[in-house]
Structure formats: structure tokens, C-alpha cells
Amino acid sequence: MCGVAGVIDLCGRHEPHRETVEAMTEALAHRGPDDDGYLFAPGMGLGHRRLSIVGIELGHQPIYNEDRTVAVMVNGELFEHEELRRSLKAKGHVFKSTTDSEVLVHLYEEQGEDVFTSLNGQFAAILVDFRRRLIFLARDRAGICPLFWAREGDWLYVASEPKSILASGDVMPICDPRGLDQVFNFFAIGGRRTMFAGINSVLPGHYLKIAFRPDRRPAEIVERRYWDYDFPDAGQEENPENITPLVDEFEAAFHNAVDLRLRADVPVVGYLSGGVDSAYVLATAAKIRGTPPPSFTIRVPSGKLDETPDAMVSARSIGTNPTIVTCDAEAIRKAYPDLIRATDSPVIDTSCAALFSLAAEVRRQGYKVTLTGEGADEAFAGYVWFKTGAFEQMHDRRGFRPSRISNRILRKLTSPATPWRDILREDELSGGPHAQTLLYSLVGRSRHMYFSRETKALLKGYSAYEDMPLDLERMKRWHPLNQSLYLGYKLHLPGLLLNHKGDRIAMANSVETRYPFLDNGVIAAAARIHPELKLKGRKQDKFLLRKAAERLLPREVAWRPKGMFRAPFAESFVQSPPKYVEQLMSVESLARAGHFDVKSVRRDYERYVAGQVPDWRVFMSMGLGGVLSTQLWHHINFGGGLCELDYVERVPQRVRHPGQEPKPVAVA
């Protein structure tokens, strides 16, 4: 993958200052250390950083069509580029390279605005139609590749990461308390919002269209959805007595997905955990290639959190000899500042730091591309909350769902500070309760415990569920399990797994992660089968996936119980805390940042340091980890002053774009 950045004059008149675009592009050098390229024209200045993987020799961007009336800059991979290239050549299109990105300009010539629906890949693209004076900013279906934008007056700033937009010097960092509230509700931000007010995310499966006006007035920014997850209506799912044909169909779709993701002009490696998902990916890759890919495994040396023994069983069955990266509390503490810089956000899940270290080792050994098993749990109900949700709903019948009442009562009992009206509103906004709702309620308790009076005042009347990009009308037609899977696809997957655990930490180390379970065909194959073939008898998760996996893996691997990959939360920092932790959690730093209630945070932090909080208080631990990572994010982005670590010095551009007024725009 790569990095894109740019500035667009919505009036279509002025060419942006080159130094601004270059500063934004340079801020993404980690995403593309191999090459850079620029496009300057009236109304736009665009930059690209390249991590060369496919078509290495002639893949410089921007890429144009034959008469240079269409140009693209792409971050990502279009996996079916070979098939598309053959089809387009047959229609007379002339290619100048073998890079996958060139397919996009010619496919746009054929399909116009519908082009994004034809792509099977992971991408964030800027496409320019000079003849029609159009610009498209598009993101892949699942949201693997990030793309952000901000508007200042009549100027639009776009980039692969918020840090690039801030590097323009024209967009100043302003904390969005609603973004912070989402982090403390859902572990991460999965919708349009970010931690910075006015910096927005293009949603997965969406594009922005900018059509320059003939009268030179500012163009309207139009958001359009070109794709969304879908499931059959309840009762219409496929559930034959003989499921062998369904297993065959899924196996074929998955084989194709892995085969496509092995396409590269550089070696492809794989992550290997103790679970079935990554093992099935690597076993399929080994079958296709005839030899197992090199693999990389994390060891968290903390009792039940250590997946290494199970991973070694999988490795022996596949024939791979994994590199083992040990990530203990010291390694987590050391990696966390780099993790926060990479994600531009607080990060509650400490396992993200372990994955950051894993990506760093992949790059240290000279590799650029790795396969991963993310997306399987969203497709096949792999998480424990899907099981608890199924047990809650075991007495539900059409038109009679007592689980809704019991879920709400349990949320009130476990989070008494949450008003009843808020609980009811959350369900109204999400079409819930869902399998995840109780988990989010438990995570969200720390908002009441730790947010300062000022933060709570700014959030008065707001619910984090307002920003969920859900199609509630379609959801009503689906089975309750598929409704919960949809919520996971839309929130947990892009917010946490593909962001904090995926693109941002991998690309910080110049590594591309590829996801066979998020292939178009695999998603479609999983969606249409009956929930009983995903969560069998309320106990056996990923049933059909495991039936397919046992054809390549030993039964003990294929049917191994799901284990959540995680690392200790606050415990990672308070056991022999480094100086920066003590400084960030001090009375002075907490008061200076202003996000949290100093007395409440210090009370629980001191308990943890003294070892007086029992291990089962996991949600308090997560809350304190959230406080610490927010303090670190604030220090890095808002002028330092909270600890002795480095921070970003921001200097506004002295020469502004013509006619520009620096005014932050709130998230719509």
C-alpha cells in the first residue's frame, strides 16, 4: 500500500502551494518509502508516496490514461487487475505498465462513476477526470485503506492519515470530544468522525464526488454509498441438510481470495496466531504455492494470554517455521508512544502495541506484505459476545423478544450511572440490543467514572450511537445474529481491527496487510448461509469455516476454541511504570489536558500502582489505559507539556492559499 495527500480548491481556480502539498506528502513517507510523485493543475495539488509491490519498475504515480484526460493516485491493491487488464486490452485500451493501479483509469473510461463497484481489493483512491472537471475520493468496501478529509473555507484537504492534513499547517488540531466518547464506548472510531474536529473519514464503501462549477463558485462535496454489506431476509438463508456443497463453495471462494492476495512482485509472508483463522490462511497459501510462506507469531508472556504453544502446533502442521516476537509489558510500554503517533488516536487495546512490534519485525527482515486472518470473526460469529447474545435470545419468538428487556436491565445494573433514557436511545439508534451492546455498556462505564465535568458538559445530549453508519431499515429484515454481524462489520472491524490493529500500525512500519476473509466473494459466501451454520447450537462458533479448515488442518487446530488475542491493559503500564507514564498520569498533567476528572483517575491509578485492584476489574483497567493513551495523544498533538516525550511542533503556513480563511469545520 501507499499514501495519498492533496489540496483541492473547490472553486477550481487556484493551484495550491507546492510546499504545502509536499509537506503533507512527506508526512506519509512511512507509507511509501520507495517513491514519490505529484500532480499540480488548476484547482488541485496532489501527492503520492509509494510502497512498490506490484509493477515495481513502472508503477510511478500519478497514472494517466492514453490521452491524459484521467489520472489516479491509489493507495492499496486491486487484486483482480490481471483479469481486468485482459478485458480492457481486448477493448482497445493501451497500458504502459504492469501495475494494478493503471487498471483504474481505463476501467473508469468504460464505466464512469460506477467503476468502484467493480473492484475487488483494498484501496483509497483519488481519481481526476480533467475533461468533465470531476474529482472522486473513494475507499474500498470493508474500509481496509483509510482516507480522511477536512474543509477550510473553500479548500479541501485529503490524505491517508490525519497527521498529513495537519502537516499542511492550514488545518489546526482541535480535539473532538465526540470522537473521544466513541473511543471510550467502542474501543475505537468506526464512522466518519475522528479525534480531530473537522477532520472526517470517508466511510467504507463510499466515495466523495467533487464537480467543479462553470461559474467558479465552490463545488459541493457529495457523499455517495456504492456498496454495503447485505444478508438474506430472515428465513431465506441457505441451510440444506447436506452442507457439503456449501463447504465446497466457501472453500473455492476462500482459495481464490488467498490466491489473489499472493499476487505480488515481492515475497508474501503471514501472521500466525493460535487460532484457526490465520492457520487456515497460511495452510491455503501453502497449498497454492506448494511451499509454506514465512510466518510471524506474537508471544505475550502472561499466562493464558500466551498463544505460542497453539501457534506452534499450527506451524508444524503447515510446515512453516515462524519468527516469534516476544511482547511483554516492557515492550508494550516502549512501543506505545510510536503506536499513538501512528494511529493519530488514543488506543485502549494494548494488543495493538504487540502487533506494532510484529509489523516492525516483518519489515526488519525485509518483507513488505503479510497475510492476516482478520474478518473471519465478523463473518462467522467468532467472538464470545455472539454466544452470550444467542443465549440471551434463546426464548425469543417472532413478535416476542424478552431478551431486549433483560439486556437493558443488565446494562442498567452494571452501569447504574447511565440513565434509562440513554439506554433506550442507544437501542433506537442501533436497531438493538445487539450481541455487542452489553460489552459496549461495560466499556463505556469509564466515561462516567473518568470524564471531567467540562468533557461531560460538551457531550450533553450526545450519544456515540448517533454516528453509527447503519442501514436500520434493511437490518429489520435480517436474523438477529446477522444484525449483530453487520454491526461488527460496520464498527468494530474498520474502527479497531483494520485501523489500530491493521493499516495504521503496519504502514507505520512500511508493511502492507492483506485480508482474504474480506474478499468480495468470501463476504458474499458467508453472508448467505444460515446463522446456524455460523454459530452452531449457540456454542460452536465459525462452524462452516471450521468444516472447511479441517480439510487442510489437523482437527485439533480446526476446532480449537476461540481465544481473544489481547495483552494486559493498565497493568502493562503501572508495573514499574516508565517516567512518561508517571508524568502523564500526574495531577498537573491531568489538569492541564482537561479531559478527565483528576480525583477519580488518581484514585484508581494509585490503587493499580499499589496492586490493590483485583484482576477481574478488566473494564476499570481498560478505562485507565484509555486515560493514559488519551493523555499521550494530547501531548503529541497539542504542543507537549504533559511529559518529556517528543511532540509535534505545529507552525501555521505563513503564506496561505489565495482567499483562504482558516476556520475549522465541524463533522456533519
Residue 132's domain comprises 3-225
Answer whether 140's CB lies under 8 Å from 115's CB. Answer: no
Question: Do 463 and 575 have their domain in common?
Answer: no
Question: Do 575 and 465 have their domain in common?
Answer: no
- Report long-range pairs for 576-584 (Cβ below 8 Å, ≥24 apart): 576/329, 576/330, 577/333, 577/609, 578/333, 578/334, 579/643, 579/644, 580/337, 580/632, 580/643, 580/644, 580/645, 581/333, 581/628, 583/642, 583/643, 583/644, 584/628, 584/631, 584/632, 584/635, 584/642, 584/643
pLDDT at residue 102 in the model: 95
Note whether residue 549 is domain-resident.
no
Answer whether 660's CB lies under 8 Å from 155's CB. Answer: yes
Q: 225, 244, 279: which is the final residue of a domain? A: 225
Can you tell me the distance from the alpha carbon of 310 to that of 557, in angstroms, rounded to the nearest whole number?
Answer: 8
Note whether residue 295 is domain-resident.
no
Note whether residue 65 is domain-resident.
yes
Beta bridge partners of 222: 209
What does the pLDDT look like over 515-544, one tens digit per residue?
Answer: 999 999 999 999 999 999 999 987 899 999
pLDDT at residue 664 in the model: 35
CATH number at residue 155: 3.60.20.10
Note whether residue 488 is domain-resident.
no
Note whether residue 381 is domain-resident.
no
Can you tell me the distance from the alpha carbon of 314 to that of 323, in angstroms, rounded to the nearest whole number?
Answer: 14
Q: What percent of the chain has pLDDT over 70?
A: 95
Report whether pLDDT(263) > 90: yes
pLDDT at residue 663 in the model: 37
pLDDT at residue 24 in the model: 97
pTM (predicted TM-score) = 0.94
Domain count of the chain? Answer: 3
For residue 67, what is its C-alpha cell? 490521452
Question: Do 455 and 580 have their domain in common?
Answer: no
Q: 474, 497, 518: which is the final residue of a domain? A: 474
Question: Do 80 and 198 have their domain in common?
Answer: yes
C-alpha to C-alpha distances, 639 to 196, 279, 380, 487, 584, nearest whole angstrom? 15, 44, 44, 37, 14
| Burial state string for 169-180 with b = 16 or more CB within 10 A and e = fewer than 16 | bbbbbebbbbbb
SS3 232: coil
What does the pLDDT look like over 292-349, one tens digit per residue?
Answer: 999 999 998 876 778 889 999 999 999 998 999 998 888 888 899 999 999 999 999 8
Q: By CB neighbour count within 10 A (0-12 exposed, 13-18 middle, 19+ buried), where does 56 fall?
A: middle
pLDDT at residue 307 in the model: 85
Confidence of residue 57 (pLDDT cuts 50, 70, 90): confident
What average pLDDT does the segment 1-9 reach?
93
What does the pLDDT look like over 603-630, one tens digit per residue?
Answer: 999 888 887 776 557 777 889 999 999 9
Instruction: State the chain's mean pLDDT as an integer.
Output: 92
Q: By CB neighbour count within 10 A (0-12 exposed, 13-18 middle, 19+ buried), where does 588 fall?
A: exposed
Q: What percent of the chain has pLDDT over 90?
A: 80
Question: Do 450 and 576 have their domain in common?
Answer: no
pLDDT at residue 569 in the model: 64
What does the pLDDT look like over 416-467, one tens digit per residue?
Answer: 989 999 999 999 999 989 999 999 998 899 999 999 999 999 999 999 999 9
Sorted by sequence, the CB contacts under 8 Å of residue 416 that are 6+ apart come out as none
pLDDT at residue 658 in the model: 42
Question: Do 7 and 154 have their domain in common?
Answer: yes
Note whether residue 485 is domain-resident.
no
Give the β-pairing of 221-225 and 268-271.
Answer: unpaired
Question: Do 468 and 575 have their domain in common?
Answer: no
pLDDT at residue 392 in the model: 83
Question: Do 579 and 447 have their domain in common?
Answer: no
What average pLDDT does the segment 472-488 reach?
96
Q: 210, 225, 240: which is the final residue of a domain? A: 225
What average pLDDT does the segment 209-219 reach?
94
Note whether residue 590 is domain-resident.
yes
pLDDT at residue 636 in the model: 97
What average pLDDT does the segment 1-21 reach?
94
pLDDT at residue 414 in the model: 87
More confident residue, 399 or 301: 301
What does the pLDDT look like over 95-107, one tens digit per residue?
Answer: 999 999 999 999 9
Note whether residue 422 is domain-resident.
yes
3-class SS shares of the chain: helix, strand, coil, % to 5: 45, 15, 40
